Amino acid sequence: MSGQDTFKILEKIFKPKNKTTEIQGYTIKYGHIVENEQIIDEVLVSNFKAPKSYTTEDMCEIQTHGGQFIVKKILELCLKNGAELADPGEFTKRAFLNGRIDLLQAESVIDIIQAKTDKELKTGIQALEGRLSKKIHQIKQKIMDVMINIEVDIDYPEYDLEEVTNQEIQNMLRLVYSDLNRLEKSFDDGKLLKEGIKTAIIGKPNAGKSSLLNAILQEDRAIVTEIAGTTRDTIEEFVTVKGIPLQLIDTAGIREAKDEVERIGIEKSKKMAQEADLIIAIFDSSKELTNEDKEILELIKGKTAIIVLNKTDLEQKITANTEEISNSSEYIINMSILGEKGLEELYNTIKNLFSFEKINVDNNLTITNVRHKNFIHKALEGCEKAKEAIENKMPLDITAIYLREILENLGNITGESVTDDILDEIFSKFCLGK
Ligand code: GDP
């Protein structure tokens, strides 16, 4: 619970074992939740006194036994005694509205909760700790420092400082542009961390698609998550293998093919290949290339594709030297899924292809949120307009309009100039109780 009535409500439902001491912040009390003198559960209650809490309001957290029923019962008891049910993200929203964190930090809470890889988690923590906010504030400060001079120029035209100020603005714009540009570029890495490399496994029936899929999934038993695909009957699966996040496209298709309900035809492969950042095209190397194989080889030409020559434990009919194969991709891996050979090489090839090792989230700030990216992009456009205004010898107050536009866009990221609609949308993505 959070808010000024927290302890009033708590008092009605919680009987601490040690009644003598006043509730103090940063303490845990042991006792019972009671309703009409009857004990509901034995609990621990953590207390936080305003302003030293997550929301900056008085807060308490009741730790109960973990059953569904008991949690619901205690929640109902709180509601009956005057509490109101929090909206999704309401605790974090209050922390933002009360000024403890900015919007960027609030949003990073969702990223942390939803993180699927170590690197993604690290970028979330960085944002929560305010490193990204600090960078945005530094950029804004550079602009504001110059804005002050513009105001002076506009107010005292007799001093004729316009030339000097224009020079100053241009220098500032160069710095701001390069900072923002670097942040915008980092989004591609951020997106990769967040969404994973969209990967399609294609190949004709019996090449070994589902065996490969299972081998990959096995590496990551614990974390496999199913994501509903764009159409109703596709399933995307998110896995991390050796730290590489992969979003496997249409694994349902592969599974269905296994049940012979529907073979993945060349048309479907085409569609998957179009969507993918990476194609893994798998062939049965113990058989001569068929027309279907050749169509697949045509399909992957010019795309980011890895060719897997599977079943190398059997006698080879095709190799990396087979012309059609070597013509279609420079990444060719000999594999025997049955013999557990070649998987390691596959992962290393993916790592290198996407320079995954080079994404250095420790030293570089990485944008992972598309909302932030869009405002950074708009701010960059503002920089260009301001630069043009100066080059075209526009009056200073015109340039000032564009500079304000940049500030406004950056303010949308940290939350100073954000509208209620946007706030509602951001916090609706949270789960209850966060
Ligand atoms: P899909 O139709 O492309 O999904 O192919 P499957 O994964 O179902 O594999 C087809 C058949 O090939 C199955 O009987 C597998 O056990 C077999 N298979 C898969 N990988 C290998 C391999 O590396 N060596 C051999 N000898 N057989 C394999």
Q: Which atom of ligand 1 is nearest to the CA of 213?
A: 7
Predicted pLDDT at 261? 43
Q: Is the CB of 257 under 6 A from ligand 1?
A: yes
Residue type, 430: F
Beta partners for residue 278, in sequence order: 199
Distance 253 CA to ligand 1 centre (A): 16
Distance, CA 353 to ligand 1 centroid (Å)?
26
- Contact criterion met (CB below 8 Å) for 92 and 106: yes
Does ligand 1 come within 6 angstroms of the Cβ of 56? Answer: no
Q: Determine whether the shortest distance from the Cβ of 10 to ligand 1 is under 6 A.
A: no
How far is 308 from 329, CA to CA, in rounded Å?
10
Low-confidence ranges of the chain (pLDDT < 70): 220-235, 252-265, 357-363, 432-433
Instruction: Tell me, using a 6 A CB cutoff, whether residue 292 lines ligand 1.
Output: no
Q: How far is the CA of 220 from the centre of ligand 1 (A)?
A: 20
Decide: helix, strand or coil at residue 188: helix
The answer to whether the CB of 47 falls within 8 A of the CB of 24 is yes
Contact 47, 27 (CB under 8 A): yes
Q: Residue of the nearest CA to atom 10 in ligand 1?
A: 206
* 3-state SS string for 173-187: HHHHHHHHHHHHHHH
Pocket of ligand 1 contains residue 314 by CB under 6 Å: yes
- 193 neighbors 365 (Cβ within 8 angstroms): no
Q: Could you tell me the residue ranges of all domains in the chain?
A: 6-85, 105-192+369-427, 196-358
Whether 192 contacts 278, CB under 8 Å: no
Neighbour tally for 135: CB within 10 Å: 16
Query: By C-alpha distance, which of 306, 299, 357, 345 is closest to 329?
Result: 306
Which of 206, 260, 262 is the best mutation target for the ligand 1 pocket, counting ligand atoms within 8 Å of the beta carbon and taking the most? 206
How many Cα atoms occupy the beta-carbon half-sphere of 61 within 13 Å? Answer: 13
Secondary structure letter of residue 341 according to DSSP: B
What is the per-residue pLDDT for 352? 86
78 Cβ contact list (under 8 Å, min separation 6): 1, 9, 13
Cα(207) to ligand 1 centroid in Å equals 6
What's the gap in Å between 285 CA and the centre of ligand 1? 11
The radius of gyration of the chain's CA atoms, rounded to the nearest angstrom, is: 29
Q: Give yes or no for a contact between 193 and 243, defined as CB atoms under 8 angstroms apart.
A: no
Ligand 1 in contact with 208 (CB < 6 A)? yes
Q: Which H or E element spans position 61? A: strand 59-63
Residue 234 Cα to ligand 1 middle (Å)? 22
Strand partners, 198: 247
- Only one residue has tokens 């209650």, namely 45
Residue with tokens 């030297």: 321
* Closest approach atom of ligand 1 to CA 335: 23
Residues 6 or more apart whose Cβ sits within 8 Å of residue 223:
116, 238, 239, 240
Whole-number Å distance, alpha carbon 297 to ligand 1 midpoint, is: 19
* 173 within 8 A of 387, measured Cβ to Cβ: yes
Residue nearest to atom 24 of ligand 1 (CA): 311
Fold classification of 6-85 is Gyrase A; domain 2 (3.30.1360)
CB 340 near ligand 1, within 6 Å: no
pLDDT in tens, 239-279: 888 778 888 887 766 665 544 444 556 777 788 888 899 99
DSSP string, 199-242: EEEE-STTSSHHHHHHHHHHTTTTT-EEEE-SSTT-EEEEEEET
- For residue 202, count CB atoms less than 10 angstroms from its CB and return exposed for 0-12, middle for 13-18, buried for 19 or more: buried
Given a contact cutoff of 8 angstroms between Cβ atoms, the answer to whether 206 and 263 are in contact is no
What integer pLDDT is reported at residue 260 of this predicted model?
A: 47
**CATH 1.20.120.430 for domain 105-192+369-427:** yes
- Kindly state the tokens that stand for 234: 């596709």
The four Cα atoms 369, 370, 375, 378 give a dihedral, to 10 degrees, of: 140
pLDDT at 231: 44
Sign for the CA dihedral angle at 217, 220, 222, 227 comes to negative
Best residue among 202, 204, 209, 211 to mutate for probing ligand 1's pocket (most ligand atoms within 8 Å of CB) is 211
Q: Is 280 in the pocket of ligand 1 (CB under 6 A)?
A: no
Answer whether 310 contacts ligand 1 (Cβ < 6 A). Answer: yes
pLDDT, residue 228, reads: 47
CA of 161 to the centre of ligand 1 (A): 77
Which amino acid belongs to residue 412? Answer: N
CB of 364 sitting under 6 A from ligand 1: no
128-179 pLDDT, tens digit each: 999 999 999 999 999 999 988 888 887 877 777 777 788 999 999 999 999 9
Whole-angstrom distance, CA of residue 31 vs CA of residue 64: 11
296 lines ligand 1 (CB under 6 A): no
Q: Which ligand 1 atom sits closest to the C-alpha of 254?
A: 4
Ligand 1 lined by 338 (C-beta under 6 Å): yes
Whether residue 88 has a cis bond before it, omega within 30° of 0? no
Give the Å distance between the CA of 351 and the centre of ligand 1. 25
**Predicted pLDDT at 243:** 77
pLDDT value for 232: 43
Measured CA distances, 84 to 46, 78, 98, 290, 319 (Å): 19, 8, 19, 66, 67
Residue 418 has a pLDDT of: 83
- Rounded-to-10 torsion of CA 127, 131, 135, 141: 110
Q: Are 260 and 180 in contact (CB under 8 A)?
A: no
Distances (CA, A) of 294 to 282, 290, 299: 12, 6, 9
The H or E element containing residue 48 is: strand 38-48
CATH class of 196-358: alpha beta
